[in-house]
Amino acid sequence: MAVKIKTQFGTIDITNDVIATVVGGAATDIYGIVGMASKNQIRDNLNDILKKENYSRGAVVRQEENGVAVDVFIIVSYGTKISEVCRNVQEKVKYNLETMLGVSANTVNVYVQGVRVMQD
């Protein structure tokens, strides 16, 4: 399913994979995030940190009447304040969706799938 935006020139369809890629890019830019995790950890492998080409496996996008709802699955760095990292992810995801795609995110749910020690 895709988000449809109607303009004076026609209709723009934005797929959920594009939205998930924007969400993943926004989430991994935040300090304290080790990477994206898979929403199906048992099926996809418990210890995988997703690469850029697989961000759609770590984000779930649902269509709503006046925007989208996004679930983000992340792995947090050890020693960071998890509540602050999650709040920063929520703000950045909402901002990036608005500025890059023109899509409003009604809700951004952040699920912490693990805590890892950051490798230097």
Q: Is pLDDT larger for residue 67 or for residue 109?
A: 109
Residue 4 within a domain: no
112-1-9 Cα angle (round to 5): 120
Q: Domain of 67: which CATH number?
A: 3.30.70.1350
- List, for residues 61-86, the tens digit of each pLDDT value: 988 888 889 999 998 999 999 999 99
pLDDT at 17: 86
d(CA 42, CA 53): 20
Residue 7 within a domain: no
Domain that holds residue 47: 15-116
- List, for residues 38-54, the tens digit of each pLDDT value: 776 555 555 566 666 67
- List, for residues 13-42, the tens digit of each pLDDT value: 888 888 888 998 898 889 998 888 877 655
**Number of structural domains found in the chain:** 1
d(CA 40, CA 83): 23
Mean pLDDT of 107-111: 94
